[in-house]
């Protein structure tokens, strides 16, 4: 069995497992699932968020969409690294970057190549009901790639699938609600844009 065939098989098995545990329902409330270059940005409460959005996308979008993954966590074991590389085709970001290193460089490279990406603008997992303030990365990417469609998303319930301290996942119905696309306005400051983007994500919580 070739490496590519093995990755596809594991991908389908993982997709089936995630959908069995969570349902992985996609709710396209503000836009249709369209094969165009996008930055999906969402709330972040679990390491499973990456898997959840990936599983919620239809197959034609999964193939062109790369999730952003924290390098220190997702390369910690050979299995995690293989899954995120071979199955998810993830873009790794280094949270322990050295001085002078551009943390957005891997994301810029992916977008330059025409890929869509899944981004968590909080930068780290939160535990409150609402997302933490968004970091500047989303604003910087919106400035550099004005042609890329920005789509907010809210992930429901995924933090309850693997409660803190638990080893065995708990079956919980989860969903991802995708909202209306937004753009960086010509005269919009970084602070205003990030607040508006965060508000667009929060607004999907009760849709």
Nearest residue to 82 via CA among 167, 10, 2: 10
**Residue % of the chain over a pLDDT of 70:** 83
What confidence tens digit (pLDDT) does each residue in 45-91 have? 777 788 888 888 998 998 899 999 888 888 889 988 988 888 888 99
- Residues 178-201 have a mean pLDDT of 96
Rg (CA), the chain: 16
How far apart are the C-alpha atoms of 119 and 151, rounded to whole Å? Answer: 10
CATH of domain 3-203: 3.40.1130.10
Q: With contact defined as beta carbons under 8 Å apart, do 83 and 10 qualify?
A: yes
- Residues 101-115 have a mean pLDDT of 93
How far apart are the C-alpha atoms of 82 and 9, rounded to whole Å? Answer: 13
Interior CA angle at 196 toward 116 and 65, to 5°? 10
Q: In this structure, what token pair is assigned to residue 49?
A: 């968020």
Q: Would strands 91-93 and 65-70 be described as parallel, antiparallel, or unpaired?
A: parallel
The whole-number pLDDT of residue 170 equals: 46
**Structural domain boundaries in the chain:** 3-203
34 bridge partner residues: none
Q: With contact defined as beta carbons under 8 Å apart, do 110 and 133 qualify?
A: no
Q: What are phi and psi of 105, to 5 degrees?
A: -55, -45
The contacts of residue 150 (CB under 8 Å, 6+ apart) are 38, 39, 41, 138, 142, 181, 182, 183, 184, 197
């Amino acid at each position: 069995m070739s490496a590519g065939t093995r990755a596809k098989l594991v991908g389908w098995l993982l997709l089936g497992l995630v959908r069995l545990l969570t349902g992985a329902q996609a709710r396209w409330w503000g836009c249709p699932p369209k094969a165009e270059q996008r930055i999906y940005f969402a709330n972040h409460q679990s390491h499973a968020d990456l898997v959840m959005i990936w599983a919620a996308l239809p197959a034609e979008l999964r193939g062109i969409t790369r999730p952003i993954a924290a390098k220190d966590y997702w390369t910690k074991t050979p299995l995690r690294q293989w899954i995120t590389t071979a199955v998810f085709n993830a873009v790794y970001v280094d949270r322990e970057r050295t001085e002078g290193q551009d943390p957005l460089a891997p994301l810029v490279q992916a977008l330059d190549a025409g890929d869509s990406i899944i981004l968590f603008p909080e930068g780290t997992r939160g535990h409150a009901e609402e997302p933490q303030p968004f970091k500047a990365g989303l604003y910087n990417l919106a400035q550099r790639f004005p042609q890329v469609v920005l789509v907010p998303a809210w992930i429901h319930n995924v933090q309850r699938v693997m409660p803190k301290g638990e080893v065995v996942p708990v079956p919980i119905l989860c969903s991802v609600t995708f909202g209306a696309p937004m753009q960086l306005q010509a005269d919009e400051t970084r602070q205003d844009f990030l607040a508006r983007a965060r508000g667009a994500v929060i607004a999907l919580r009760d849709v």
